[in-house]
């Protein structure tokens, strides 16, 4: 299941990650900051559109109830920018993470746990 990040419809800074599901025979879009908000479609664009419709509803309710919005998971985006400059295996080992897990999360756009983010930030000094 290879994931791609699509965020051209995103006015809230939340990137949708899209993966093909052979089991469901379609594409699933999700957001790192909203685990239970997903979209499904026969094409990636359909899944993204459906996910963003759901996200809009969730955000409207959260704003109406004056609930704090979660921070977008930008760790994956920062790591993708650094990918040409760093060795993922070395970063993972220094952060005490599994290299394949780190590579997968980078490809999918997250989600990274607070612990994982902290370890990576300490290694990268950010």
Domain boundaries, the chain: 3-64, 75-124
Q: Give 6's strand partners.
A: 16
Residue where the block lists tokens 């990137």: 15
99-108 vs 75-82: helix crossing angle, rounded to 10:
100
Dist CA 19 CA 27 (whole Å): 6
Quick: pLDDT tens for 75-125: 766 676 677 667 888 899 999 999 988 888 887 777 888 899 899 988 887
Strand 34-41 relative to strand 16-21, pairing: unpaired
Strand 34-41 relative to strand 26-31, pairing: antiparallel
pTM: 0.55
């Amino acid at each position: 299941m290879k994931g791609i990040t699509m965020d051209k419809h995103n006015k809230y800074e939340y990137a949708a990650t899209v993966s093909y599901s052979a089991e469901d025979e379609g594409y699933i879009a999700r957001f790192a900051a909203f685990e239970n908000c997903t979209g499904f479609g026969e094409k990636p664009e359909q899944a993204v559109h459906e996910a963003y419709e759901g996200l809009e509803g969730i955000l409207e309710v959260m704003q109406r109830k004056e609930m704090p919005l979660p921070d977008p998971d930008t760790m994956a985006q920062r790591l993708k920018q650094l990918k040409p400059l760093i060795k993922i295996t070395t970063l993972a080992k220094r952060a005490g993470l599994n290299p394949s897990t780190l590579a997968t999360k980078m490809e999918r756009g997250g989600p990274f746990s607070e612990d994982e983010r902290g370890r990576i930030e300490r290694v990268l000094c950010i």
